[in-house]
Amino acid sequence: MKTNSFVFAILLLATAACTKDELADGNRLPEGQYPLEIARITLGVEGGEAQPWGAPATRVSENGDGTGSKFDAGDPFAVQIDGEGEVGTYTVQDDGSAEAEIPLYWSDSDNHTVTAWYPATDGTLDLGDQSQSLAYLLGATGTGDYQTPVTLSFTHALAKVRVTPTDDALGEVQSLQLYAYTQCTYEKGTVVQGSQEGWIEMKRCEYTENGNAITCWEANVVPGYEIKKLRANGTEERNLSAAITPEAGSYYNITLNKDKGYTDDGQGNYTVTSAEGLKNIAKLVNEEWKLDINITLDNDIDLTGIDWTPICPDNSKKYTGTFDGGNHTITGLTVTGSNRYAGLFGQIGPGGTVKDVVLTEVNVTSGTFVGGVAGWSFGGNIENCSVSGSVSGSSGSDVGGVVGYQQVGSITGCSSSATVKGTERAGGVVGVTNGGTTTLTACYATGDVTVENDGTSNAWAGGIVGMNGTGTLIACYAAGNVSGNIVGGAVGVNYATVTACYWSGLPDNDNGGATKVDGTTVTWQNAVDAMNTALQSAGSEWRYELTGELPTLKKQ
């Protein structure tokens, strides 16, 4: 039987004819004659910055709302008078009383302080797995004398952390863990030292509030350790929006919302952890006009099976923040809709940056301005991005493996092995450069490039750029087959500057002034040497190295 407060059987000396006053001899009491009597147990309510853990609350079985617990029969706790001398062990009985096999005795008639603690022995408490039962550490004090039964007031030496998933998040949670101390040493119901940082398995709990069943997870933790993160289902790590440093005797309720797949530092910086998060970020930019936020990938992202809506898919929005891929990979980017500007981004605006991301298994099949990274970049800067898969546009399209249309800005250290197909202008890296100063530095493409139309208008195709209107190309190369109405091995048609650029494959003509690598007159090693010299002269940190059949890039 469990109760919230306990009245313990008074342990009386079996002497029916005498009273305690009659047995007293001055200040000293006969040895072993006056047993310590425990009247009841209570739990003091401690505050702190969080909510009090609850009163009464003791040890084993949690109350219905999870704010307290109750002693069970068989629970032992230690008792000592004045914190010194002999320690007695008292055990809770079925009727709520407490008995000691060998009780403590008063030695004099003075008033004394009685201390008690649970567990009854000192040692090391394992907090690591609380999935089946919570860990507890309690201390108590009380005062009394040989005539006055003692009331022991217990307090928690640990703190409680509860995680309550919202309704939409509940179905996603099968288990929860907290990162904190997984062990602590203790003496007389007090924590001595926490140790062994790691994941604590939490206990699933349920209670009723306003007639509604609430599901939560709980664990008792060492106070004073800053808790910053939790983990769902053994793998899905989440940072708390605000770290907590629990105090003894308090409990802390954390609301677990549905995982949005990203975190926000409140300063316009978003960290993406999943495909759902990237979708939500795109929606945030597109629908809430958060065009200048900074986005950082924290994991590889798999978009397979998702019909992607580009970030800034129409002419009214241009992304002007920084997208940092963190050298992670986005797999399966697929765009099949009617967006005019198609790619991971529809449009990048002045100062917008996309860097350090790998796009694999890209499948873009529509759009007027189409690229793996962006359909149109107006003053944007793209660096260290690579694309593989296939990129194609609809009628009247300008298509590039990396960018469809680059107007002002820069593309540096980028590569594409994607198959590129357009109907007006297509290039392995960029379909068109036009409308202002544009630079392509240390970029290369190895995929096939095709322009297909009815022949009634010009259709340019180039291994690097379809039409180079205003671009300065420095140390770029192409190594795929190029076909179309007007073609060039590196540039379909050129109106600007091409420096130290090379190409191989079909066709045999080039309209941009790049040099064809034929393996004899000019070898790839010759090309690498010349391109690196040009990069050094331009002050670029990028260099080519030839460790396989074709050159690859490395940033110094």
Per-residue three-class SS string for 320-356: CCEEEEEEEEEECCEECCCCCEECCEEEECCCCEEEE
* Positions in the chain short of pLDDT 70: 1-26, 39-71, 96, 454-457
- Answer whether CATH 3.90.100.10 is correct for domain 262-555: no
Contact (Cβ atoms closer than 8 angstroms) between residue 203 and residue 247: no
pLDDT at 19: 46
d(CA 514, CA 476): 9
Mean pLDDT of all residues belonging to the chain:
87
Total length of the chain: 556
pLDDT at 129: 98
Closest C-alpha among 255, 212, 253 to residue 52 = 253
pLDDT at 241: 78
Write the CA distances from 336 to 307, 341, 406, 421, integer angstroms: 7, 12, 22, 15
pLDDT at 47: 30
Name the amino acid, one letter, at 323: F
Contact (Cβ atoms closer than 8 angstroms) between residue 213 and residue 189: no
How far is Cα of residue 185 from the mean position of the Cα atoms in its chain?
31
pLDDT at 63: 55
pLDDT at 34: 81
Contact (Cβ atoms closer than 8 angstroms) between residue 468 and residue 491: yes
Report domain extents, the chain: 6-156, 159-256, 262-555
Q: What is the pLDDT of residues 110-138, one digit of tens each?
A: 999 999 999 999 999 999 999 999 999 98
Contact (Cβ atoms closer than 8 angstroms) between residue 197 and residue 138: no
d(CA 24, CA 473): 107
One fold for 6-156 and 262-555:
no
C-alpha distance across the termini of the chain, in Å: 73
What dotted CATH number matches 6-156? 2.60.40
Name the amino acid, one letter, at 14: A
Determine how many CB atoms are found less than 10 A away from the CB of residue 12.
11
pLDDT at 553: 98
> Residue 90: which residues within 8 A CB-CB, separation 6 or more?
38, 76, 77, 78, 79, 98, 99, 100, 103, 116
Q: Which fold has domain 159-256?
A: Immunoglobulin-like (2.60.40)
pLDDT at 528: 98
